[in-house]
Amino acid sequence: MNQDGVNCMTTTLLADIGGTKTQLALADENAHISQPFYALNKEHTQFESLLTQYLQDKPKPVNAVIAVAGPVDGNIRCQMTNLSWLIDGIRLKQQFGFSKVVVMNDLQATSWGLTSTTEQAALRLLPSGGEPAPQLNFNLPVVVISPGTGLGQSCIYPHEGDYVIAATEGGHKTIAPFDNLSAQLIANQWRQSSRPVSWENWFSGSGIANLYSAMYPGQTVPDNEEIGRRANQDPSSDCGKVMDVFAKAVYAEAGNLVLQYLGWGGVIVAGGIPAKLQNLFSKPENIQYLSSKNEYLDRLRSVPVALCLEQNIPIRGAAVYSRRLLKSEPT
């Protein structure tokens, strides 16, 4: 217990490291979050310098749970792909004296957040075919797809009264056509480059410009914020058509994930892009792409779908996971 009445032995450092910014916070033994702090990554040459700055006037946390936008090796290490930062849990333990450090993919953290009944209650259920929106069933596998900077994908598996999260890098799979337009775009891209296109190459924040160029070659590409603004303002505009294809693709891939992971408990669409373009991601004509398959059509049509509008859910998921570290043996 420090002089401020904080029990340092049950305090966990939380971090959500994105491609451009990082959120830091502390969590107590009940996963309550306090002292949030936001920083631009470009202002720091490495994560350790940011962490030192944050902790200089804080109680020393016993553990750390770090969510990172990138591939994670062994729950302990991540070399970020669009940033020079190396997140090394062993090095962080040594430098900051943490007892335990877990490094996880940011969508894995999002998925842990979605195991919280509080976060589940905040989801926006989407109706299907005019019927009342069915409830997600977390007693069955639930898949999560999250178009943000990348195209995150995961699955929440129920297991003996608890959950197991399957983290993936599935956004880097090769695109399969999901309608005539997508088939034409993919064929054009292949003729130009003789290289496959991944889902993330087009259907993510970093890929929107590529999708726009594929649909409207030779045109000046607006920035993502402008594309989103125009899409909301005028769905019939070029930007609106681009983002309409984007939404269809997300649901088409979500249907693939349901089949791949037997995710009959439902689909959660998370990430900043759907939250800003709710009109497109709520359109029944777009949602139906989830079930646009050769087999299992009726089963897929019955799968519940929900939008996650909470943007701080990775840090909340890290807090949910922090309780596990306090109960587990030191690592």
pLDDT 10s digits, 82-113? 788 999 999 999 999 999 999 999 999 999 99
At position 6, the amino acid (one-letter code) is V
Query: Which residue is associated with the tokens 């969508």?
Result: 107
pTM (two decimals): 0.90
Task: For residue 274, count CB atoms less than 10 angstroms from its CB and return exposed for 0-12, middle for 13-18, buried for 19 or more.
Answer: buried
Over the range 219-229, which residues count as b (16 or more CB within 10 Å of their CB) and which as e?
eebbebeebbe
| Alpha-carbon distances, residue 137 vs 160, 268, 290 (angstroms) | 15, 11, 17
What distance in Å separates the CA atoms of residue 56 and residue 35, rounded to the nearest whole number?
13
Parts of the chain with a pLDDT under 70:
1-8, 128-132, 329-331
Q: What is the 3-state secondary structure (H, E, C) of the chain?
A: CCCCCCCHHHCEEEEEECCCEEEEEEECCCCCEEEEEEEEHHHCCCHHHHHHHHHCCCCCCCEEEEEECCCCECCCEEECCCCCCEEEHHHHHHHHCCCEEEEEEHHHHHHHHHCCHHHHHCCEEECECCECCCCCCCCCCEEEEEECCCEEEEEEEEECCEEEEEECCHHHCECCCCCHHHHHHHHHHHHHHCCCCEHHHHCCCCCHHHHHHHHCCCCCCCCHHHHHHHHHHCCCCHHHHHHHHHHHHHHHHHHHHHHHHCCCCEEEECCHHHHHCHHHHCCHHHHHHHHCCCCCHHHHHCCCEEECCCCCHHHHHHHHHHHHHHHCCCC
Q: Strand pairing of 63-68 and 162-167? A: unpaired
Q: What are phi and psi of 199, to 5 degrees?
A: -55, -40
Catalogue all structural domains in the chain, each as residue range(s) with its CATH number.
Answer: 8-104 (3.30.420.40), 123-307 (3.40.367.20)
| Alpha-carbon distances, residue 259 vs 18, 159, 282, 302, 308 (angstroms) | 29, 19, 22, 13, 21
The alpha carbon dihedral of 17, 23, 27, 30 has a sign of negative
Sheet holding 21-27, edge to edge: 33-40, 21-27, 12-17, 63-68, 100-105
